[in-house]
Amino acid sequence: MSVTPDRPSDLTRRTLLGRTAAAGLLVTPAAGLLSACATSGSDDTGKKDGAEGTKSDQNPLGVKEDAALEVIIFNGGYGEKYATDVHEPLYKKEFPKAEIKHQSTQAISTVLQPRFAAGNPPEFVNNSGEKLMDFGALVKDGQLQDLTELWDAPSVDDPSKKVRDTVVPGTVEQGMYDTGDGAKPYVLYYVSTVYGLWYSGKLFQSNGWQPAKTWDEFMGLLDKIKGKGITPYGYAGANAAYYQWNVILTHAAKIGGADVLKNIDNLTPGAWTADPVLKAATAWAEVGAKYLDKSFEGLKHTDVQLQQDQYKVGFYPSGDWLENEQKQNTPPDFQYQLTTMPDLTSADAMPFGALRAAAGEGYFVSARSNNPRGGMEYMRQMLSTAGAKGFTETVKAATVVPAGSEGYAFPPGVASSQAALKAAGANVVNLMFDNWYKELDTECRTATNELMFGRVKAEQFCERMQKRADALTKDDSVAKFQR
């Protein structure tokens, strides 16, 4: 086959096909490389001077009253109605001359990444969902407004109180990032989330089962559930393995204290191979071997959750969004109930009832936008009693503002998780590594599947995670955080 045809007539159909194929082959990798769009336009690291008005009692953050405000909402589980019907009208009431531009999307990074790269970010962003932008990368690049001023501002309802004193303890800390010059709050996590093991109140009642307090009782209970022909325990390996690492790590914290998780977050050497993590992993690997249905590794969370709603699964680990997520498929008398990690031994560092609770759903203000003060004021309105109450009534979830959910009648699942949170008192733990280091989250999901479906032992699970964490520590391109 000659390479160049001497005459045009030599270019037969076949050589043409062959060449087209070769050309096509060259174009293929372009698909992978297309992500590499312009990196230009963001070279100026200097901050823009945002619009500023006069500070007063009514306007403690000094918002320029006619400055426009752009609000981007992630249109996911909570929808966008809470913004358009509650928070935006509240802001508009305070600043009637300000124009609010509302936009909602399911792909935050697709819509916003180019705008950040071009130096033209919107003021207020609900950074959430599958395509959220990496918070760590945003903080490192100075894109996020320091929210200290907001937290220290007087609250809308009671000017003698600071905003930070009207929210659940830990809320401010959860949004803090330390990039080397001290931890500063950059992110507002707004929705209160309680994690635990979920079961059907009806199923348990009709069989006379009680959620277990100790590990032996727990294993006995799983046996009884298995005896009824019900899969005792389940999580979805295909896309929701993090529900299960959450269980293992919460249990590790209960066994060894909250510092276990703090060490993991801080990438402390040996954090993953610590004894409590190993013990928790060993215990749950046994649950995996004895009580887990092997097919669950190939199922999505919706499949397993549906099976639980059909009374085919005993316990399912999740957060308290579960009830709202499943409301289409849940029988009316199902009665979601939450229980917490059983005592592994009587020597556990934390008592029964200890749980993981966190503020979820992140919101931030862009430091380089035209009106960052307006963005902070918008947050102040969100954190008012009226703002929080409106949110809770719209989406049936509790916010980090306790005054907002007072007197609201939650459905049985959220009611039980709120009660568990109250009962836990100070024994509440949280972890941040999955938000800070996405790659560690990915690795942990994979390792958890390997552990729970019996391909590795607990020791190997811990070693594997430690190895990945160590590699991450050495990776200079990833900004590190401390708490």
Partner 1 sequence: MRHGKYPFVVGFLAAPVTLYAVFVIAPYAQAFQISMTDWRGFSAPNYIGFENFRRLFHDHRFWQAIEHHGILLLALPLITIAIALFFAFLLNVGGRSRGGQRRGVWGSNFYRVVFFFPQVLAVAIVAVLFQTVYRPNSSGLINGVLMKLGLDPVLFLVRPSLALWSIIAVLVWQAVGFYVVLFSAGMSAIPPDIYEAAEMDGATRVTLFFRVTLPLLWDTLQVAWVYLGIAAFDAFAIVSVLSVDNGGPDGATTVLALEIYRNAFVYSKYGYASAMGVALFFLTLTFAALTLRLSRRESVEY
Minimum Å gap between C-beta 477 and partner 1 is 4
- 14 or 422: whose CB is closer to partner 1? 14
Part of the chain binding partner 1 (CB under 8 A), chosen from 74-82, 135-143, 374-382, 397-405:
135-143
Instruction: Say which amino acid occupies 112.
Output: L
Separation of alpha carbons 318 and 322, rounded Å: 7
Per CB under 8 A, 138 contacts partner 1:
yes
In the complex, the smallest distance separating the C-beta of residue 296 from partner 1, rounded to whole angstroms, is 8
The C-alpha angle with vertex 266 and arms to 183 and 367, in degrees rounded to 5, equals 30
The yes or no reply on residue 442 touching partner 1 (CB under 8 A) is yes
179 binds partner 1, rule: CB under 8 A:
no
Does position 7 bind partner 1 by CB under 8 A? no
User: Mask of contacts with partner 1, 292-311, x by CB under 8 A?
Assistant: -xxx-xxx------------
Cβ nearer to partner 1, comparing 423 with 471: 471
Site for partner 1 in 241-300 (CB under 8 A): 241, 293-295, 297-299
Hey, what are 219's tokens?
């294993």
Provide DSSP, 190-238.
EEEEEEEEEEEHHHHHHHT----SBHHHHHHHHHHHHHTTSEEE---TT
Q: Which of 137, 154, 138, 70 is nearest to 370 (CA)?
A: 70
Spatial distance between the Cα atoms of 328 and 346, rounded to a whole number of angstroms: 41
199 sits near partner 1 (criterion: CB under 8 A)? no
Q: Which of 341, 350, 218, 357 is nearest to 280 (CA)?
A: 341
Q: According to CB under 8 A, which one of 7, 8, 32, 422 is a site residue for partner 1?
A: 32
454 lies in the binding site for partner 1 (CB under 8 A): no
| 351 near partner 1 (CB under 8 A) | no
Kindly state the smallest distance separating residue 347's Cβ from partner 1, in Å.
34
Which residue number, 36 or 409, has a Cβ lying nearer to partner 1?
36
Q: How far apart, in whole angstroms, are the C-alpha atoms of residue 296 and residue 381? A: 43
- Give the SS3 label for residue 157: coil
Using CA atoms, how far residue 482 sits from 109, 184, 262, 433, in Å, is 25, 11, 9, 10
145 conformational bin, left if phi > 0, alpha if psi -120 to 50, beta if neither: beta
Point out which residues bind partner 1 (CB under 8 A).
1, 14, 17-18, 21-22, 24-39, 42-43, 45, 109, 113, 116-117, 131, 133-134, 137-138, 140-143, 237-239, 241, 293-295, 297-299, 438-439, 442, 445-446, 449-450, 453, 455, 476-478
